[in-house]
């Protein structure tokens, strides 16, 4: 099994070594799995359970003080599942897989996705705030009122870098994994969103072709500025380059170059192609990855 995982594209983290250890654990957990779809789910579970990443526990807090999780998952035969805007759901990737495996739909959202997860035994009602996010939220003076008041408050804060330079969920957006067993490919992405987004905001992560994509040619997971990733359908762009003859590394390099030219924003992508080539590229300050391949095990 070949597996590559990422921990988000953004500013350089304060403690990259400890984050890298978790990424390596996730990649190895995925590589121990029986199938690529199990591999990406199992790998992302590790990252969703670590407060060092913006997915599951430690997810970014939205303008109403709530952490909401999103995820998408896809296989090379274009089976797909996605779920979004789920308060209290640590393992969003498992809800996405549930949508793919158990429903005739591709996307379920909000309280209905949470209810679906609970019906099928996925834990809900989890406190997703880490010590770090809890402290940061407590230091803010959130306004009373509805979406308009919240929007006015967050307008100049949404997506801004943390001035103290420490690990922060708004700087390290999203986790993802891609796996290949020599025959089948799977890709998945999971996130807690972006810090101080308007309550209910959904970014690129659960959108097919944007935050994740898989087809016979390649599997891809993206991370970064979600609105711009969606506008550029970044993951599908990588796969298209592979379909046109590029290997995974060349395809990720080219897609990130195009993305920067189109949007002026930062992002990162990981990919595995159907020949077993692995690629990773980013135009942000940093994007940590870990990989395990059959030859190294």
Q: Which residues are catalytic?
A: 174
75 to 28, 154, 224, 282: CA distances (angstroms): 20, 37, 22, 23
Q: Which residue has the tokens 């035994």?
A: 121
The half-sphere exposure of 125 on its side-chain side, counting CA atoms within 13 A, is 3
> Count of CB atoms within 10 A of residue 71's CB?
35
As a dihedral over the C-alpha atoms of residue 253, residue 258, residue 263, residue 269, rounded to 10 degrees, the angle is: -30
CB 175 within 8 A of CB 199: no
Burial 28-64 (b: 16+ CB within 10 A, else e): bbbbebeebbbbbbbbbbbbbbbbbbbbbbbbbbbbe
50 to 21, 39, 47, 242: CA distances (angstroms): 11, 17, 5, 32
Q: Which residues contact 106 (CB under 8 A, 6 or more apart)?
A: 80, 81, 82, 99, 100, 208
């Amino acid at each position: 099994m070949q597996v590559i995982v990422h921990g988000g594209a953004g500013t350089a983290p304060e403690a990259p070594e400890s984050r890298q250890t978790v990424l390596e654990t996730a990649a190895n957990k995925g590589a121990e799995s029986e199938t690529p779809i199990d591999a990406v789910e199992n790998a992302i579970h590790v990252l969703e359970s670590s407060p060092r990443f913006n997915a599951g526990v430690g997810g970014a807090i939205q303008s109403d003080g709530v952490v909401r999780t999103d995820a998408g998952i896809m296989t090379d035969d274009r089976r797909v599942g996605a779920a979004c805007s789920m308060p209290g759901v640590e393992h969003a990737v498992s809800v996405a897989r549930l949508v793919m495996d158990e429903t005739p739909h591709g996307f379920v959202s909000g309280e209905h996705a949470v209810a679906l997860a609970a019906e099928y035994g996925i834990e809900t009602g989890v406190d997703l705030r880490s010590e770090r996010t809890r402290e940061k939220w407590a230091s803010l003076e959130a306004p009373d009122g509805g979406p308009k008041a919240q929007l006015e408050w967050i307008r100049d804060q949404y997506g801004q870098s943390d001035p103290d330079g420490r690990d922060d969920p708004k700087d390290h957006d999203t986790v993802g994994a891609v796996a290949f067993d020599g025959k089948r490919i799977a890709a998945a992405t999971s996130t807690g969103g972006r810090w101080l987004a308007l309550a209910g905001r959904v970014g690129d992560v659960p959108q097919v072709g944007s935050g994740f994509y898989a087809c016979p040619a390649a599997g891809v997971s993206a991370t970064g500025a979600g609105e711009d990733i969606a506008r550029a359908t970044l993951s599908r762009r990588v796969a298209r380059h592979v379909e046109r003859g590029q290997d995974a590394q060349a395809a990720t390099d080219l897609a990130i170059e195009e993305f920067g030219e189109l949007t002026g924003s930062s992002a990162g992508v990981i990919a595995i192609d159907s020949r077993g080539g692995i690629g990773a590229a980013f135009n942000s300050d940093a994007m940590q990855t870990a990989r395990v391949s059959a030859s190294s095990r």
